[in-house]
Chain A
């Protein structure tokens, strides 16, 4: 199967005809983006993996039961499922994500390191660690919009619907998030 030539929609159709390989392609295509988004929301590697797995289980059952609605992009639908599971988790635990200083460095043990030498790996890991820490310094509402827009690839309209705010409020939070990131980078004199 020529993975790069097939759209998500085509892969869903192939999967519906019984080609399990199409599902593997869909998962491989979107797992990193979805995992990064979920991890940046829950800030716990193990929990993020569980949520992502639950999201894909829901995706499988929805598609196989013929309930998948083809309107819109697959990734946006998939991210909506993952994001709702994140919300469910915080509701169950009766707390919303906070801007705690949890370290969670071990998440980087799971970054793909193929075709990378030790020095490259160290440099990349340090760079990613800096970015992750900067994002975690943002207030929750700003961090959520930034993660949903940048890593989950949801539009500002979709974010506004998901978070029950106007598009302008979502855009305003993104603006504050980006401006605050810029200030933090200047304050800490960080170069990537």
Chain B
């Protein structure tokens, strides 16, 4: 068994940047590449962790933007 899939390909896959054909190729190659499968699990898990951070601005932002828009000629 040797590594056939790069970490760059896996990251692009996790972030939805591979084409349909590239994704199909990735699936095929991963069948014989357990190391890449492990990387996929790690990156996908990290992505889920990063999703847990969502900050919000104050309510004034919306008010100010709408006020500016209403006054804009």
- Chain A residues in contact with chain B, CB under 8 A? 20, 23-24, 27-28, 31-33, 35-36, 39, 48-49, 52-53, 56-57, 60-61, 64, 107-108, 110-112, 124, 127-128, 131-132, 135, 146, 149-151, 155-156, 168, 171-172, 174-175, 178, 181-182, 185, 192
Contacts and interface: CB of A to CB of B under 8 A. Distances in A.
A153 to B, nearest CB: 9
Contacts of B68: 56-57, 60
Nearest to B9: A171
B8 A128 contact: no
A36 B61 contact: no
Given A27-B61, A56-B61, A178-B11, A128 B53 contact: yes
Contacts, number: 105
Given A175-B7, A175-B11, A132 B53 contact: yes
B46 A27 contact: no
A131 B62 contact: no
B55 A110 contact: yes
B8 A175 contact: yes
Determine chain B's interface SS by DSSP, over half rule.
helix
A62 to B, nearest CB: 11
B49 A131 contact: yes
Tell me what chain A mostly uses at the interface: helix, strand, loop, or mixed: helix
Interface residues of B, number: 29
Interface of B: 7-8, 11-12, 15, 17, 42-43, 46-47, 49-50, 52-58, 60-62, 64-66, 68-70, 72
